[in-house]
Chains A and B, each alone.
Chain A
Amino acid sequence: MGFIVGIFYLLKGWDSDFLTTNVFAVSYGGVLGKYKFFGCVENNILDEIASVLIVLGALLVVFSKEKNEDEFIASLRLNALSWAVFVNYAVLFVGIIFVFDVPFFWILVFNMFTILFIFIARFYWLLYKASKNE
């Protein structure tokens, strides 16, 4: 669900205005002006909705228990989590060094989600491998 909204957001961009409302902000402004704190600001809430849904969906997958959650599965989880953190920061590191300006902003945006996605991919791959080789 979050993915659909997220992809929709990426394709359509910022110009859709049907969700633009006034929202409360802790901090805003700043691109070409001063930072402002605690106020109301007009903002398109589509990206907020997309991010929240993606993260909530991923967290739901990450924290769901297997049908038979035991110590071995727990060790796979730990393995996958440490792996995800390392891979995520390796990618981020490459990004910091070789990517600049607006693309770097996108690296940061995707980095919010990649750690969860890498974890999910790695964990289910390990589980698949463990159940396959007899």
Chain B
Amino acid sequence: MKNSIKVERAKKNITQAQLAEMVKVSRQTINAIELGKYNPSTTLALKMAHVFGTSVNDVFELEETDWK
């Protein structure tokens, strides 16, 4: 699963720590999601999209490997 969190963060000009605080998780979590090491729960994905003012589909995107 690809994500554009880093880009969205840059647009809003907020750091990982700030985003983490806004959606009430640890900074490690945001970091792991950005690096694609962890798939967030639906709730967390929706929260992040809410912070960015976009829909979840704009932030997360399926990849070929997700179907295997």
Contact = CB atoms under 8 A, between A and B. Distances in A.
Contacts of A68: 20, 25-27
A71 B25 CA distance: 8
A70 B32 CA distance: 13
Most B CB within 10 A of own CB, among A66, A69, A70, A75: A70
A134 interface: yes
A72 B35 CA distance: 13
B28 A131 contact: yes
B31 A75 contact: no
Interface residues of B, number: 16
Interface string B26-58: 111101110101101100100000000000000
Given A130-B31, A131-B31, A70 B38 contact: no
A71 B31 contact: no
A127 interface: yes
B28 to A, nearest CB: 4
Interface of B: 20, 24-29, 31-33, 35, 37-38, 40-41, 44
Q: Which 9 A-B pairs have the closest CB atoms?
A: A72-B29, A68-B26, A70-B25, A130-B28, A131-B28, A71-B41, A72-B38, A70-B29, A70-B26
Interface of A: 66-73, 75, 127, 130-131, 133-134
